Amino acid sequence: MTAPAWWAAVPAATTILDCGDARHELRWEAGQLHLEGHADVEAERTLGALGAEVPTCLRVRDAWAAHATDPALVTLGRRPGEPGLGFAPEHAPPLVGGLHTPPKRPRPSEPGRREALVTLLSLPVAFVDRLALTAMADAAERWPDPSFRERHGLRLGAGLAARAGPALHRFGRPLAAAGEVVLVHATPCPPAGRVSIRAERTGRGVEVSASLPISWLSRVWGPGLSEPDGRFVIALRRSGEVDVAEWMAVGVDRWEAERRPAQLARNDDTGAWRLRTTRP
């Protein structure tokens, strides 16, 4: 059985948009954006091309379709611990009309990248999170392409390090003595490369070096699966099953993390993920 789609563990999100004189529901579910209240999108698009005002919902949908896989979203998206981000409608740059007000003149049929990103980043943060996850998932798909890696590899590597770093730091903490520094170096695996997590005590402290796939961002970190019960999740195997990391000593002051299968369950009261380790 193959691993589930990256969006399988990401809950749906909904919001209400002021769209002309109406209020329409915008919903993200199963990796897709859904519009309610626009029965004939193509007809409305044709009217827009002829100079009619383009409804807000269509602007959002077109911007999402065109830019949801933009690697810049990995840089723009939230890092661990950030409370929220995005443009408040009243603070959106003057070039782009407020998301919840009708545009004063017909929108161009293909808004530029800046206008589209501002539109998307003016959505509620739950949508911005899913937008960033979409970009991360697409980056994981394109990772085997050498020219994609050459152009975006350093950006994605830094984005992976920023999101995996805090969890890896907590994972390495038990290896360190009281007051000893824990340093983390997290880098992306090359295509078809092996995941590895190692630790070594050096003159600088305990240094944790991790090589993780880019897909870890969308499949593990994004859905909030990276640290159930304080354990570090390496990969999602199939629905409800993960590989967690456990330290094994491989020498004096040297450790390697081994994979241990475990089952996930969600706490009904808190919504937090919990796990149960299963030994092979």
Partner 1 sequence: MRATTDPTGGTADRRGEAHLWLLLEEALLAVRSADVEPWEAWRSYRAVADALISTDLVDASVAHALVGELDDALAVRGVIPAGAFSAAPWPDVDVLRRPRPATPPGAATTWLEAEIERHLDLLASFSVEAQGRAARDLVRIVGGPVRAFEAVGHLSGRDAVALQGEVVASLDAAGVDPGGPAEPDAEPRAEWVAFLRNRPPSLPEPFVSTDARLPARTLGPLADTTTRLDAIAWTTDAIRLELTVRPPRGEIRSGATTAPLHARILDDTGCLHLGQPVRAGRSGGGLHVFLRPGFGPGVRGFDLRLTRGGERLEVSVPL
Binding site for partner 1 (CB under 8 A): 71-72, 75-76, 79, 81-82, 85-88, 91-94, 113-114, 117-118, 121, 146-147, 149-159, 161-162, 165, 183-188, 190, 209, 211
Counting DSSP H helices and E strands in the chain, the numbers are 7, 10
The contacts found for 44-50 with CB under 8 angstroms, 24 or more apart, are 48/106, 48/107, 48/109, 49/109
Distance CA 64, CA 33 (A): 8
Residue closer to partner 1 (CB basis): 15 or 187: 187
Nearer to partner 1, 142 or 266 (CB): 142
List of residues 6+ apart from 153 with CB closer than 8 A: 188
Instruction: Decide: helix, strand or coil at residue 173.
Output: helix
Cα separations in angstroms, 168 against 63, 196, 224, 228 = 35, 12, 15, 13
At its nearest, how many Å lie between partner 1 and the CB of residue 82? 7
Q: How far is the CB of 94 from partner 1 (least distance, A)?
A: 7
Nearer to partner 1, 156 or 262 (CB): 156
Nearest approach in angstroms of CB 266 to partner 1 is 28
Closer CB to partner 1, 137 or 156, in the complex: 156
Question: Minimum distance between the CB of residue 229 and partner 1, rounded to whole angstroms?
Answer: 24
The distance of closest approach from Cβ of residue 161 to partner 1 in the complex, given in angstroms and rounded to an integer, is 5
Nearer Cβ to partner 1, position 63 or 242? 63
What burial letters (b/e) apply to 152-167, b meaning 16+ CB within 10 Å? bbeebeebbbebbbeb
